[in-house]
Structure 1
Amino acid sequence: MKVLTVISLSVLIFYQCVMALSNPPKREFRAAWIASVANIDWPSGAGQSPAKQKNDLIAMLDELQEAGLNAVLLQIRPECDALYNSNYEPWSYWLTGRQGRAPDPYYDPLQFAIEEAHKRGMELHAWFNPFRAEKTIGAYSLASNHVVVQHPDWILSFTETDSKLRILNPGIPAVRQHITNVIMDVVNRYDVDGVHFDDYFYPYPPNQISNTNKDYQTFLTYKHGDASDNNINDWRRENINLLMKMVHDSIQAVKPWVKFGVSPFGIYKNGVPYGIVGMDAYSVIYCDPLAWLDDGSVDYLTPQLYWKIGGSQDFSKLLTWWADQTYSRGRHLYPGHIFGSSFSVNELPNQLGLVRNNGKALGDIYFSAKHFGYNTLDFANKVKNDYYRFPALVPQMDWKDLTPPEPPVAFYFTQAEADEPFRFQWQAPIASGIDSVIRFAVYRFEQQPSGQTPPTESSYIYKIVGGQEFFPAYRGENYPEVFFALTAIDRNGNESALGPVLRITPPDMPLLAFPENGNTFMPDTIVLNWTVSPGASSFYLEISADSAFGEVDYVADGIKDDSLTITSLLGQTTYFWRVAAQNPAGQSDFSTIYHFTTAFPLPPLLASPADGESEVPLDTVLSWYKNDVATSYRIQLSQASTFVQELMTLDTVVTDTFLVVHNLEPFTRKWYYWRVKAFNEFGQSDWSETFMFRTVTSTYLADLFEGPVDFELKQNYPNPFNPTTSIEYVLPQAEKVTLNIYNVLGQKVITLVDAEQPAGTHRVIFNGQGLAAGVYIYRLQAGSFVQNRKMILIK
């Protein structure tokens, strides 16, 4: 029996592996929500600069595209506000840090997001929260044109709970018209691919409206005139139904290709399907997704199935039920997933597998986008390397349009300029209306394709792009030749026949151009340049301090230029470099190897105080070893290891290899941190390593009150030193004092002190610059007291 169990388990594991590595479908909706409310995803903080917002969004879209996603749902209206230039509502607090304030310098985030998504061949659906007006009452000041200020009569307030929520009253016709106007303002002025609602209709508990009579007067005033008038719950659901139909019909009248989707709460009714238990959409937040499907008010549903497989909110049961409802009514289902904190690393892949095997569901949407950058639950790696390893076209909506566009024309693998790498370029077919071409699918073949029918397997798709050119990448294998063709894709995902076919062979080897071989005066910013060899679409570069490249110090892959600027090399080091050309058919041999030597300094080596040293005097010397090519040094001393400006004790430049520091603070709980970098005419080194030290715990106040009781010559600090050190001695009474320095032969080098001095503690700085490294003796004579000590000068 044990043997049978083991065999069965092995078969199951093998089956799962085979299924996991099977080809992904050619058509699949793969999306993530990008939430702006509370800065969940983007922007990552309120009031950030437009430059940071743009860079962060580009990085997020790159992460999502790399993971294989083909659409994003961007939240542009979280609280009756706008992350775009609205004609109706104020700029969002979550964007600029003050509601009603435009980005400065100005840009339109929605327009920017659309352009960046479309460049990557991704759809962008504008996500609206239809009714939420204030997530938390009083959290920030409202703009004068916010709907709460302009139309307080439209508002339902829930102040009895900690959430302190305000929403637009769905029962008022003017409210539904206002929401429709807001949405159509976006649809008319922006090239969005879809309009998306989340599940905030009537409020969730604890603000559940059925526990109040807040909308009863609205019910009496705005009955619809049908049989549902006698039931306030049915009336509430009908309010939502009316909005859904208004929005759908308005979009259809203007831009019928724009998709309209909603993500309702994941449980339709408690007990539906059998065995499902929990709060539901129908009786708590008063939305009826089946009614929207029945009257064709939505193009897709994304129920938020935020539970595990199994249990009383079983993902599998809910998926099957929702898939049956949407499929039987001719609409799409893209179930919503969440990166649950209690999920195992296998939960989301298992859910994705169930969706694919269902046959009636056509994709997935994930909450939320940031988790792909975080690689939460290792999911981004899994989809990038397995489930989404090939690009996918979005599913077609056959109730919109199924007429394919004409194929692209004039397909080239060429250079824009003579010294630029090769790229794919083409021209779009002439089209208009819903057939307008918006994307292109580039296919790769190892043999010349016969006919013009696009492959049905996703593995042939090389890339999906939104423009009419791109640099193809080398994929790690060499072929004598490969073939490329492309298709045009319209706004409904309809695909043309294959256009012209291109044959690509591996590129020739590049020739290195600059710096000239053997250059010994390279600065800290180095520009490497080479020739563009025929057929090269990108380049691979290696730099090593080893002429055999046994260890490589710097690698750059996929360079889309004939030059590269490097700023991360070490000074005073000889480097060897080489370049190979790449294109989709393969990689050339490496170029001839050139070498150069950097002339800027190496990072200094710190001497004293030593790292971790304690009881350092409050007047001390920071010293480091001389760098033969350095002409100056920058020193930073801080009470924070991050060297933030507000905790910086000093930041200065000197030409010596030491710096005398006075009046440091006695040690309490804070350490001092210090570092140095070197400069010369060719540039600057990196920072040295950071040393830390702590000072003495008192300021010798006891000496001021009690006075010293014995003569004492203390050990110099630091020791060894280069080139300065501090010598301290104690006098219990006023005396004639001499302090001399001698070499090991007994020859006097210098007299540091020759004077009458009062009782107390005295400190003298000795500078050994110009002296040879070695052992020196310092001698204190005070009256009849004489004492000698050794010190070591290092260089």
Structure 2
Amino acid sequence: MNSKKLLLAVISVCSALSVWAQDKAPSKYEMRAGWMASVANINWPAKKGQTMEELKKVYIAYLDSLAAVNANAVVMQVRPTGDSFYPCAIEPWSIYLTGVQGQAPTPMWDPMAFMVEEAHKRGMEFHAWLNPYRIAQNDTTKFAESHAIHEHPEWFVTYGGLMYFDPGHPGSAKYSNNVVKELVSRYDVDAIHFDDYFYPYKVSAKDADGKSYVVDFPDTLSWEKYGKPFFKDKDAWRRNNVNQLIKSLSETIRSTKPWVKFGISPFGVWRNKSTDPVRGSDSQAGVQNYDDLYADIILWSEKGWIDYVTPQLYWKIGRKIVDYPILLDWWIKYSFGRHLYVGHSMGNGADEIERQIDTLRQRGFDSVQGSFYWNAGSVLRNSKQRDNGREMNPMLKAKNRYIALVPPMAWMDMTAPKPVSGLQVKGSAPIVEISWDANYSDNLNAFLVYKFEKGQPVDLSDPSKIIGRVRYDNNAKGVFYDKSGQKGQFTYAVTALSRNSIESTAVSETVKVTKSAVK
């Protein structure tokens, strides 16, 4: 694309974003994602050992419930405890899938390929959620024969009754990079996602006198060998271990597929002001990312190692020690231009989530770009607020009235794909067929179909006019059916959409739809 066309693409996106920021029209660009946890069978699978048909049915129900509230991404946990939800050359099948770690599903199938395809069918991104260090929730003895613990026991430690990769051992970081590289290479995922589990949350115990103390993470061997010769401070060494993991994973993802994003969803407080008067937040959280989990999140954003951060702001507005708007403004200040999405705890109820969404939208698109819902089960069940019975989904449908595109990232490919050609509109009410020829571009991802009433200009900044999204599946032709049954004069417009949500110019046709024909 020449510089003039690139400038026009950027101006088009900026125009649509400014409308959102001014709150003069519904948002066209906003992240709306639902988390789905597999660990402990929280969401999906609902229990171990379900049949392929049961698993597919429930997963589709989750996606359809998210699509019904105009969500545009699913964040699926596919590596919960050093095991996988896909046939992996490196790690065993997950215990949360079949009930036995290392046991393949019967009949053999690939849940990951299915999950990605079904998400994309609905115009939703698929973010593959992995846990980098945790390998056992409770029973540390039942590992598959193929598990790395048998070949490399020196990589692992036990803490608080659970087992983890030792972040201080170089072998664990190299292993994690191999896992991510294989996943990104094989599957059409849109992002790699980590949550808040880095070094584990600290565990307390009682001494002989009954006094509580914090149990230190058992990494003495790796500290003596890999840390102490180079670091005076053990905490700084631990942070460096996580920093180097994040940096190397970022490089692995970008070198494998540069369009795949890397996102982190940390605990909601980086540091309290009492700990760090200069950069800490005005909060009194009992846990701090930097000091307790050794996760220096804001460094990763500042260095550009991650593409988005989704702090888990699970507290209600007005909670004095961890107040949502105070923390939101802090994260806005320290996002360093990377995308900021807010993690909401849907268990707080529809009233609170509505207030939180309103608050973040009031900050403007330049500050915060969307929401993640913890978790998708609340949407699947249409959960009710405890005190007044208000349902979650009607609220979300009202807030997310129209389709929204995942926000484009300015540091990724901002090139627009080639426009479609050969647009044809035919048929009659109640079904009108819109078809077009796809013109291949390396970054072509989907097509958007707009519908404007008589006298309305073709305005791509208005999401209320989007009537369909069609995934590009390598076919030379695309087609969409308008089943609204409306009669009258309409202008149909089609744009090509890149992986980074950059649109081509629109190709349009004005027609008169009658009961018998399109003229």
Query: TM-score, normalised to structure 2's length?
Result: 0.85
Kept in 2, the 8 Å contact 1:391–1:464? The answer is no
Q: Is the 8 A contact 1:323 1:333 kept in 2?
A: yes
CA-to-aligned-CA distance 1:278-336 (integer Å, 9 cap, x gap) = 3111111110001111211100000111110112111111111001111xx22100011
More deviation, 280-289/208-217:
208-217
Aligned-residue offset at 1:221: 0.8
Out of 165, 184, 188, the position equivalent to 1:187 is: 184
Secondary structure at the residue paired with 2:249?
helix
Alignment of 1:498-513 (within 5 A): 498-501=506-509, 503=511, 505-508=513-516
**450, 453, 471: which one aligns with 1:466:** 471
Counterpart of 2:7 in structure 1 is none
Match of 1:665 in 2: none
Task: Rate the CA distance shift 1:502–1:53 in 2: closer, same or farther, 3 A.
Answer: farther
- Measured against aligned partners, the alpha-carbon deviations of 1:434-493 in whole angstroms (never above 9, x if no partner) come to xx2112221110026656xx5212222222332433333327xx4422222111111111
Matching residue's letter, 1:154 = W
Structure richer in strand, relative to its length: 1
Match of 1:347 in 2: 352
Q: Distance in 1 between matches of 2:127 and 2:512?
A: 37
Pair 1:166 & 2:178 matched:
no
Q: Residue 270 of structure 1 contacts residue 278 of structure 1 at CA under 8 Å; is this kept in 2?
A: no
1:39-188 equivalent positions in 2, closer than 5 A: 39-138=41-140, 141-158=142-159, 161=160, 164-188=161-185
CA contact (8 A) 1:339 1:367 kept: yes
- Code of the residue aligned with 2:181 in structure 1: it is M
Secondary structure class of the residue paired with 2:507: coil
Partners of 1:298 and 1:78 in 2: CA distance? 21
**Aligned partners of 1:68, 1:298: CA distance in 2, in Å?**
26
- Residue 210 of structure 1: CA displacement? 6.4
Closer/same/farther in 2, CA of residues 150 and 405 from structure 1, 3 Å limit: same
Q: 1:487 to 1:136 in 2, by over 3 A?
A: same
CA separation of 1:45 and 1:362: change in aligned 2, threshold 3 A: same
Deviation at 1:350, TM superposition (A): 0.4
The residue aligned with 1:575 is none
Note the residue ranges of structure 1 that are not aligned, 5 or more in a row.
Answer: 1-18, 509-533, 536-584, 586-795
Q: Distance in 1 between matches of 2:88 and 2:268?
A: 31
Matched letter for residue 451 of structure 2? R
Letter in 1 for 2:483: A
Give the secondary-structure state (helix, strand or coil) at the position aligned to 2:78: strand
**Matches of 1:218 and 1:352, distance apart in 2:** 44
Aligned counterparts of 2:466 and 2:307: Cα–Cα separation in 1: 26
Question: Which structure has the highest helix share of the two?
Answer: 2
Partner of 1:236: 238
The Cα of 1:424 is off from its aligned counterpart by: 3.2
* Conservation of the 8 A alpha-carbon contact between 2:497 and 2:503: yes
SS across alignment from 2:312? coil
CA contact under 8 A between 2:468 and 2:480: conserved in structure 1?
no
Distance 1:448 1:438 in 2: 30
Cross-structure match for 2:265: 263
SS for the counterpart of 1:261 is strand
In 2, distance between residues paired with 1:276 and 1:474?
Answer: 53
Aligned to 1:428: 438
- Over 3 Å counting, the alpha-carbon distance change for 1:344 and 1:422 in structure 2 is closer
Tell me which amino acid in the other structure corresponds to 1:146: H
Given residue 51 of structure 1, which amino acid in structure 2 is its aligned partner?
E
1:49 to partner: Cα distance: 0.7
Q: Is 1:387 aligned to 2:399, yes or no?
A: yes
Aligned to 1:480: 488
Say whether 1:278 aligns with 2:286. yes
> Per-residue displacement from partner, 1:563-586 (whole Å, max 9, x unpaired)?
xxxxxxxxxxxxxxxxxxxxxx9x
Q: Is the 8 A contact 1:410 1:500 kept in 2?
A: no
Count of residues in Structure 1 that have an aligned counterpart in Structure 2: 470
For 2:150 and 2:446, locate their aligned partners in 1 and report how far apart those are by CA, in whole Å: 43
Counterparts of 1:369 and 1:361 in 2: how far apart (Å)?
21
Give the Cα separation in 1 of the matches to 2:68 and 2:147: 38
Secondary structure of the equivalent of 1:501? strand
Amino acid at match of 1:297: W
**How do 1:514-593 and structure 2 match up within 5 A?**
none
Contact 2:228 2:234 survives alignment (8 Å): no
- Kept in 2, the 8 Å contact 1:93–1:100? The answer is yes
Letter in 1 for 2:461: T
- Alignment match, 1:677: none
> C-alpha offsets along residues 385-441 of structure 1, whole Å, 9 cap, x if unaligned?
x111100111111111212111122333458xxxx9654333322111xxx211222
Shift of 1:156: 1.1
Equivalent position amino acid for 2:226 in 1: Y
**Partner amino acid, structure 2, of 1:470:** F
* Whole-angstrom distance in 1 between the partners of 2:512 and 2:62: 32
Say which is worse superposed, 251-260 or 479-488, in terms of deviation: 479-488
Mapped to 1, the partners of 2:451 and 2:179 lie a distance apart of: 43
Tell me the SS of whatever aligns to 2:392: helix
**Distance change in 2, residues 1:469/1:266 (3 Å):** same
Superposed CA deviations along residues 589-642 of structure 1, whole A, max 9, x for unmatched, are xxxxxxxxxxxxxxxxxxxxxxxxxxxxxxxxxxxxxxxxxxxxxxxxxxxxxx
Could you tell me which residue of structure 2 aligns to residue 412 of structure 1?
424
1:212 corresponds, among 195, 213, 216, to 216
Note the aligned Cα RMSD (angstroms): 2.4
Structure 1 residues 456 and 40 mapped into 2: Cα distance closer, same or farther (>3 Å)? same
SS state at 2:424 partner? strand
Equivalents in 1 of 2:50, 2:479: separation in Å?
Answer: 33
CA distance in structure 1 between the aligned counterparts of 2:44 and 2:24, rounded to whole angstroms: 34
What is the identity, as a one-letter code, of the residue corresponding to 1:382?
M
Judge conservation of contact 2:451–2:466 (CA < 8 Å) in 1.
Answer: yes
Q: CA deviation at 1:502?
A: 5.2
Please identify runs of 4+ aligned residues in structure 1 that moved more than 4 A.
207-210, 448-451
CA distance in 1, matches of 2:287, 2:315: 13
2:26 is equivalent to residue 24 of structure 1: yes
Counterpart secondary structure, 1:365: strand
Cα distance in 1 for partners of 2:52, 2:512 equals 41
The alpha-carbon distance between structure 1 residues 149 and 413, as it changes in their structure 2 partners (threshold 3 A), is farther
Please, which moves more after superposition, 374-383 or 203-212?
203-212
Would you say the 8 A contact 2:203–2:214 is kept in 1? no
The aligned amino acid for 1:123 is E
TM superposition score normalised by structure 1:
0.57
Listed as ranges, the gaps of 5+ residues in structure 2 are: 1-20, 206-212, 274-279, 385-390, 473-477
Residue of structure 1 in register with 2:383 after alignment: 376
Deviation string, structure 1 residues 141-191 (Cα, Å, up to 9, x no partner):
321112233322111102xx4xx2101000111100100110110111111
SS of the counterpart of 2:167? coil
Q: Percent identity?
A: 38
Aligned to 1:34: 36
Residues in 1 aligned to 2:72 and 2:481: alpha-carbon distance in whole angstroms? 19
Q: Secondary structure at the match of 1:133?
A: strand
The aligned runs of 1:301-340 (5 Å cut-off) are 301-311=309-319, 312-326=321-335, 329-340=336-347
Alignment of 1:623-772 (within 5 A): none
Change (3 A) 1:207 1:440: farther
Q: 1:406 to 1:284 in 2, by over 3 A?
A: same
CA distance 1:156–1:507, shift in 2 (3 Å): farther
